[in-house]
Chains A and B, each alone.
Chain A
Amino acid sequence: MPLARADLESLLRTRRLDRTLTTALPPLDPAGIPDDYACAPTGHTALDARLSGGFPRGQLSEIVGPRSAGRTSLLLQMLAAATARGELVALVDALDMLDVASAEAAGVQLDRLLWIRGHVVSNPGMCRDLNQRALEQAIRAFTLVLQAGNFGIVAFDVGEAPMDAIRRLPFTTWMRLQRLIEGSQTAGVLVGSDSMARSSAGLTLRLGIRDSGSARSAPPSASERGWGPASIEKSIRFRGRLFDGLDMEARVIRARARYHDDVRVPLSTTCA
């Protein structure tokens, strides 16, 4: 007797198989009111509106993009919004690059931020495996925080780590982390130069400097980009003798069954 699709999905849920096989995504609120239980708002009005509330909870999401694309600005804004809601947040700073003054300027309530600083050294010399071990150690710290649960946002920042070091991590790492976070109220956020987890149910947001109407779709490489000074001058704002900010664009490149159209949101940063 053939099983109905509903039965099959029920069985899959019971076995906690991957959500790519089930329709476990939270339904979008028809009234358009963001649900704080389903999503972690970023605090940026336009972005939250286009993301139907923010980053999904219980999923691993990503903020990727090249250097100076606004990844840290957006992450700090998310943390600030979460701490303003009374949530506890954690940041696994694998390369120990958080600027505390920037976090405070973004509005993060610092006493609600658990900051875990990685051991990566800038010049490992002959000990080339040193930083790889430090990266694995940061992953373990990330795992512990996810296991503790009940954090609003847990971020893993490897924005300046070389991608080959990320790729050397066991391929099951991200799947294991995804299984850890599933069903919790935590929004996991990975910050990197390129997509790492490729979570099907999570959200991958690529940031890039606005250039001829589209965000960069490739990892940073000056030669590949072939940017001219004109396009850079258009995206980076200097005002007199002051750096003023960046004009960039956020583009959703992966979010299963949530957005049917190409979601692009212009963003800009301003010096505090």
Chain B
Amino acid sequence: MYACLYRPPALSACGDFSHDRRAALSGPPDRGPARPEVHRGERPALQPIASLAAIAQEFSPRYECHRDDLVSIDVSGLERLLGPARTIGEQLRRDAASRGMRVHVAVAGTRMAAIVLAHARPGVTIVEPGGEAEALAPIAIGVLEKAPAAMPAGASATRDAHARHQRAGVGPREKVKDIDEALESALAAFKAWGLKTLGELAALPSADLASRLGRQALVWQALARGEDVRPLVPTLDEERFESSVELEWPIEGLEPLSFVLTRLLEPLSTRLERRDRGAAVLHVLLRLVTKDSHARRLELPAPMRDVRTLRTLALLDLESHPPAAAIDRVAIVIDPTPGRVLQHTLFTRAQPTPEQLSTLVARLGALMGQDRLGAPAVVDSYRPGAFAMTPFKTEHPSTSFMARGAPPPRAEDLALERRLSRSGDGCLTSLVSAVRRCRNPVPARVAVDNGRPVRVTTDRRGFVGGTVVMCAGPWRTSGDWWNATEDLRRPVLDTREGNGPSASGAGVGPRAFNKDEWDVALTDGAVYRIFQDRDTDAWFIDAIVD
């Protein structure tokens, strides 16, 4: 015997339970990763699914959460404890009312019948075993649209799976949409045939129905007859992945801590693997001998459960943020996320795994500083040498050997190719001229004759300078005067790190620039890009053509 709790939208106590069809197809709720208590500032508002699940848990461990507002419970055997089915239904309703919820309750011999009845009838509905079809017969056929998440294998199970995959980011959204459209077309067909109640649908010959609407129509007919097509799949609580150890003697260094971390992480990794989960966030909670706590939170770029990687990342983070005193208790909490599915092929080149790249980036960040590494990015600016740094992605799409050529060229690239290709057969025979930027422009002494530089010298070691053999210019560039404050409009030899948006200091706008640039070839055989600051008339070496 099954009971079903359904909370209609109008009776919702909290939250927005608009019965959007897409929300209805979302399947079992995604509760998200478990958070450690130490980071939970305050408990979130009680979610409806939590309430319905809590009610279900009090009656039976075998319950299935179909939607946020729909739970079915296996109440078989409760008759001996609580009494007949009506008593069980009343008890469920009272329990919900005590929690501030008004729900529809239906108790029937099959789960499908209970679900449909809970959607169709308010209050408590009891159907004796064997009377499901009769109880469902007068219900309008439109109720099918309201209870799709409970649909069995042919429709709902597939749909739930698709929805789960969609949440995990591994499934195409189009498939869920397709099933949705199939349901709509089936309902439209029923309407065109003049079917108004579930009883009329149940009375149709199954073979003819399947031949016209496909196998999926049989599922709707089974629902109309109150037959279960798939068994109840109990909803399990999301497992908390945490482990801690009290140390007999406080430890001070990171080296002994690594052994403790390994001991804690190994069982956690095993549990994650069994549940097909990966770590999304790693919390390292240290209790110090001073009774203070030292908590670190590592957001991992990709789901991972490799013990060595997690330990290394935790140690590298603690190396840059060491605890203030010795440690006497260590706890690890992992926020789980669905595991990563990788399918390697013979036709793609092996690339560093996200674990390797995460470890590498963490090690490099500890060595060089977090702001000194990443992927470069161009910025929309006229300032010469402007750039930005973006975090280096740890997951890159593999490129098949079949399509390992260059990506589709842009129009400007094709124009450049035409300039560079000189052999006539499309082969690249020329390189794009590149420059090396001096992040701090090198002050220079420039002799000018007839408005053109004739000699460039500097005091900087490595920049000898010489007589100008050839030169090209000037090109005047200026910018950022429109948003620079007065003191910032004063030209400075600032570091170019301030040019990129990510590197610019908070609250400080970009500095104005106003200069005349020249390309000069000197007698030392090198070509330099020099500029004269138009506000101070000072000359600088800005870049080296190489």
Contact = CB atoms under 8 A, between A and B. Distances in A.
B98 interface: no
Interface in A106-124: 106-107, 110-119, 122-123
A185 interface: yes
Contacts of B545: 68, 243, 246
Given A102-B434, A116-B368, A150 B376 contact: no
Contact of A243 (B407, B430, B472): B472
Interface in A230-258: 232-233, 235-236, 238, 240-243, 245-246
B464 A162 contact: no
A45 B433 contact: no
Contacts of B399: 85-87
B544 A107 contact: no
A270 B378 contact: no
Given A67-B544, A160-B436, A220-B525, A141 B368 contact: yes
A159 interface: yes
B546 A238 contact: no
B373 A117 contact: yes
A233 B433 contact: no
B431 A269 contact: yes
Nearest to A87: B349
B469 interface: yes
Interface residues of A, number: 82
A17 interface: no
Contact of A86 (B389, B404, B460, B527): B404
A227 interface: yes
A246 B528 CA distance: 12
B72 to A, nearest CB: 47
B52 to A, nearest CB: 44
A243 B434 CA distance: 12
A107 B434 contact: no
A141 B356 CA distance: 15
B321 interface: no
Given A116-B372, A117-B372, A160-B462, A68 B360 contact: no
Contacts of A185: 349-350
Contacts of A111: 375, 390, 393, 396
A101 B385 contact: yes
Interface residues of B, number: 77
B196 to A, nearest CB: 58
Binding site secondary structure of chain A: mixed
A67 B348 CA distance: 38
Contacts of A73: 431-434, 546
Contacts of B431: 44, 70, 73-74, 76-77, 106, 267-270
B435 A232 contact: no
A112 B398 CA distance: 11
B268 to A, nearest CB: 25
B523 A246 contact: no
27 contacts: A44-B429, A46-B427, A68-B527, A72-B546, A73-B431, A76-B432, A87-B349, A110-B377, A116-B368, A123-B440, A141-B364, A144-B367, A159-B546, A160-B436, A160-B462, A185-B350, A209-B525, A220-B525, A222-B523, A225-B525, A238-B471, A238-B519, A243-B545, A268-B430, A270-B431, A270-B433, A271-B432
Given A102-B435, A152-B349, A270-B432, 14 more contacts: A44-B431, A45-B428, A76-B431, A86-B396, A99-B543, A106-B432, A111-B375, A115-B373, A185-B350, A220-B526, A241-B472, A268-B431, A269-B431, A271-B433
Interface of B: 348-352, 356-357, 359-360, 363-364, 367-369, 372-378, 385, 387, 389-390, 392-393, 396-400, 404-407, 413, 416, 419-420, 423, 427-440, 442, 460-462, 464, 466, 469-473, 519, 521, 523-527, 543-546
7 A-B pairs with least C-beta separation: A86-B399, A45-B427, A222-B524, A102-B434, A100-B387, A243-B519, A68-B526
